[in-house]
Structures are given as structure tokens and as C-alpha cells.
Chain A
């Protein structure tokens, strides 16, 4: 395959043609979520804020000595986890939920999981504003490293798209995943050191943290917002590796089975 021909490939042509659809779907996900609620889009600010207040009240006394600024510590982890869980559990159901469309029109199918991930990304970016406000309010230390916030965000986006494609594909064939995934998410939440310091986990279970990609993204996020220093190199390596690996596996799996989706939905 010649390099100059690669943009003439079906994938790119299609992507270009359907970019409006992607935008429209992202808009729909956000619109529908907040339709009929009085505060509308403000919930994406309020929800993490309220959650933070509740958890701070409960947990801050426990970890008073380990964590200096508990609200910021909590939010940096919780926002990343929310992005991951919203994006992937949305993508999990996306193929099934759009069965009506897929059955009737030709549309590139990857667009549904990808649009859900993108809309989760929008919520994530909006809630970063909350994080900044909380940092201001609690008198946290601002550094220039905050400008690097896009690195974990983009890596996490790639990771989520990959995982979304994987679970979306599997869910078409084995619906059990839908029920199992909630349990899995809870497991990930408790093994990601979101509301407790990582040292709490006993040393012989520390490997759970080192091999948990979500924790890698959380600690990258904490590096820039909470600790205010450059990323830990090995964490950055591991996060990049897992993002690319999940994307590659997801794309291969999705492309291999997408023609069979219609027989199962």
C-alpha cells in the first residue's frame, strides 16, 4: 500500500463524510442526558461537586495525615474514573441501542461507541473546570504543569475508545457482559485508589495498582493537578502502551466482527 493513497482509503473517506454525524451524535448524547432537568448542563458541574462534598465529609478524617488536600485528591481520581466508566459502559450498549438505525441504514458502526466516548470526554473536560474551582477554593498550589492536562486526557480518550470497541463488540454476542460490567467497574473503582491513598493497599497487593491502567491515568492526572510535577516516566510509558494496545485490539476485534452484528441485534 502506498502512503499517498492511504487517505483515499475507504476508512478516511467515510470518516470525512460522516463527521457531521459524529458531531450530531455527540450532541444528542449530551442533550438527551440533561433534557427535562431544570439545571440542565449544570449537572455536569454539580454532580462531581456534590459527590466530592459527600466523600470528603466521610473520608477526610480517615486519611487526614496521608492526604493534604483531600477534595483535590479525590476529584483528580474520581473525574478520570467517571470518564472511563461513562465512556465504556455507554459504548457497551451503543451497538444494541442503535440497532434500529444499523438495521436500516448503512452507517459506519464504530461511530456509535466513538461518539459516546467523545461525549463523555466533553463532560470530563467540563468537570475539569470544577476541579480548578475547587483548587482555587482550597488554596491549592498552582503550577505550570497544569497546562499538560491534555496528555492524560487524550491518552485516556484513546484507551476508552479501544475498550469501548472491545466491550461493544463482545456485548453484541454475549449479552451477559452488560450485567457483568457493572461489577467489573466497581472492582476497578476500588482498585484505583480514588478515595484512599495508594499506600493503604498492602504491599503484596500493590501489583494491582501497577497493572491497573485506570490507576495509571489517575496518577498521571494527579501528577499535573495535585502534586504539580512532571509525569512519572514509567507510568506515562505504561499508560501510552495500554492506550495504544487497547485501541489496536479494539479496532481489530470490531472490524473482524462488525459484519455479523446485524444478525445478532
Chain B
């Protein structure tokens, strides 16, 4: 498929070049350069890519480059034959031929280099032992979230590469992708519709990263995540407001960020303000709010719609006691309904109370998953053991 794409591109550009060369009005100074630009691009660009890329990527690229070089060579000869492009013939033919030869040499070098690099890129098939095998009684249609063999790598070495020379050297030595830090590895789980899943673990276990992956903010390095239904993430409620904007304007802004229409927000506006208890401050810029007020506003906007999937990251401690009661009530109303919930909390009791199942994460791996009470008990047990 990729071959066809390249071929058609080269053909198209070659035809454009030929027509260009044959049009007398375009033979004046600035315009007669453009066909050259195309040719030079193809004759040097592709082989150069072929030199750099095979070291990191695959053989395919090289084959494509050889193909395109040959094709553009033929097309240019053709162009020379049909066009009466005198300046091109007399002046630039030697230059062009030189370029062509250089590109052929580069391609050959690339071939040799590539053959010296061992084939490591072949993907290792994920072993079946990690695969989350769905229980017999779970139908795929009932799933809200399905996460399979997900891994997330952060590159720690990236900071050190600060100039181009070093970058190229590291690229050639294949060191650039070495210092990986896997925040998550081999994570597989599923959540049924209407199910409440709790995630526990110590700080740095990868809980927040997992939530960000599920809510689509980040893309996993490997593995797949399938989500059925609209997600409302309640992660760090205070963030994401525009400080110069008033509360009123921020409500509309956040609403549209969540993908709601303006009319919808107008209908819900009073309800949001009422729930957040910010009537007196709604026309004050958010930068003058206290942090509790900001979180209250965030909570009120995010929970205005009954979502299909709700993602909660330590948000049940918003505002003062009165507001906490109110927000807990609203959360409970979601929990009783058919809403799928993923809850991250350090509070083991909360997870025991609210969730059906739980996952225990440690250093990016799943230690245990299953019934919420069982998982929570072994988690607390492990904590006491370390003491």
C-alpha cells in the first residue's frame, strides 16, 4: 500500500514538473526553479532518509527510497526529452546527473549499513500469560472499558540530549531510546458497564498515569485501550481554568472543553452556580478565588451531566465539610445509578464501601485484582508487614 502512495506522489510531481517546464510563461526566473526543487528533493531526500531511518526503523523504507530514486530518474529523463527546456538541458544537466549519482551512492551506503545492523525490531508477540482472559460469563458488549497489555514508557534520557550533534550521535549509537522508565507495564483489566472499580497503591505506583491513559489524555506506548461511552474525568479539579476569566466565563469554557454545546450550558448554568454556592463571586476572575472555591466550581461543572463513565482521582475531599457532604451525596447518586466508575483513592475504607472490584498497583504492575474487599485487605496487610 505504501509503495502505491509513494509512486503516485512521484508520478504526480513528475507530471506537474513536466507541464511546468513546457509552459513558456513559467520559464522566467523565479518559477523555473520549482521543478528542480522537486527533483532535488526526491533525489537527495529519500536516500538520506534511508540512511538515517533504517538504523531505527525497518527495511521497508530503503526499498521505497530505491524505488522512488529510480522512478524520478526515469521521469526526469522523460521530461528532458519532451520539453524544450533549453536552460535546463544546457546548464543543469551535469549538475542533475551528479546529484543522481550521489543519491545512488548514498542508497548503496544505506544498504550496507542496514545489513550490518542486526534485526532487533521484530516485535515480540505478547505472551499469553499476561493477557486478561475474560471470564466465560462476560459478554464483550457489556464492557465499558477494556485495557489489554498496556505499557507506558517515559524517556528519562531525553533531558540530556540538548544539541543536534549529540542527538545524531546517540541516534546512530542507538542509545537514544535506552533509558526508558516504564511507569506501567503489562496492565490488563476490564470494567463492565455499571461496575465500580477501585484502584489502590502507594504513591508512584502509576495510578494517575493509568487514569490519564483511560481518559484519553495520553496514548499508551504499547497495548490497546477500548472505551465505550462518554468519559468525564474528575482529575485535579482546580486545574484547567483560565485565571483571567470570570467564573461565569470559565463555566462556559469548561463546558465546551468537555464537548457540550453552548445552549446546553446555558440551560444548566443556574444549576451549576447554585451547587457550587458561588453566586456572589460568579463575575469575579478565577485568579481571585480561593483554592476551595475553584475546586467547588470544577466539581459542579464536571458532575452536571450524568456521565456514562466517571473517573475520580481523590476528589471526594473538596471544600469544607458541608460541601463535602453535598458532593458525596451527588457521587452516591451516581454510584447507585448505572454509571461506570473508576475511583482512585488512598482511603482504603472508601474503596471498600464504594467499589465492587479493585486493582492493586505497585511500581507499574498489577499485584492483584479481584473482589474489592479481598484486594483491600491484602493491601493493608502488606503495609503492616513492612512496618
Contact = CB atoms under 8 A, between A and B. Distances in A.
B216 A106 contact: yes
B26 A234 contact: yes
Interface residues of A, number: 27
B154 interface: yes
Contacts of B249: 28, 31
A104 B233 contact: yes
Contact of B31 (A23, A25, A100, A234): A234
Contact of B240 (A23, A32, A104): A104
B337 interface: no
Interface in B123-174: 154-155, 158
B256 A21 contact: yes
Interface of A is mostly: helix
A203 to B, nearest CB: 11
Given A210-B30, A259-B219, A32 B256 contact: no
B216 A101 contact: no
A50 interface: no
Interface in A14-62: 17-18, 20-21, 23-25, 28, 31-32, 35
A207 B28 CA distance: 12
A150 interface: no
Given A207-B30, A262-B217, A263-B154, A28 B242 contact: yes
A259 B218 CA distance: 7
Interface in B207-246: 212, 215-219, 231, 233, 235-236, 239-240, 242, 244-245
A238 B26 CA distance: 11
Nearest to B264: A20
Contacts of A210: 29-30
Nearest to B218: A262
Contacts of B8: none
Contacts of A238: 30
Contacts of A106: 215-217, 231, 233
Contacts, number: 70
A232 to B, nearest CB: 12
A103 interface: yes
Interface in B161-212: 212
A202 B306 CA distance: 68
Given A28-B245, A28-B249, A210-B30, A103 B219 contact: no
Interface in A209-265: 210-211, 234, 238, 259, 262-263
B265 to A, nearest CB: 8
A20 B233 contact: no
Contact of A105 (B240, B245, B260): B240
Interface in A120-142: none
Interface of A: 17-18, 20-21, 23-25, 28, 31-32, 35, 100-107, 207, 210-211, 234, 238, 259, 262-263
Which 7 residue pairs of A and B lie closest in terms of their CB atoms, listed nearest first? Answer: A106-B216, A21-B256, A210-B30, A259-B219, A20-B256, A24-B256, A101-B240
Given A18-B256, A104-B217, A104-B240, 13 more contacts: A20-B261, A25-B253, A35-B244, A102-B217, A103-B212, A104-B239, A105-B240, A105-B258, A106-B215, A106-B231, A210-B29, A259-B218, A263-B155
Interface of B: 25-26, 29-31, 154-155, 158, 212, 215-219, 231, 233, 235-236, 239-240, 242, 244-245, 249, 252-253, 256-262
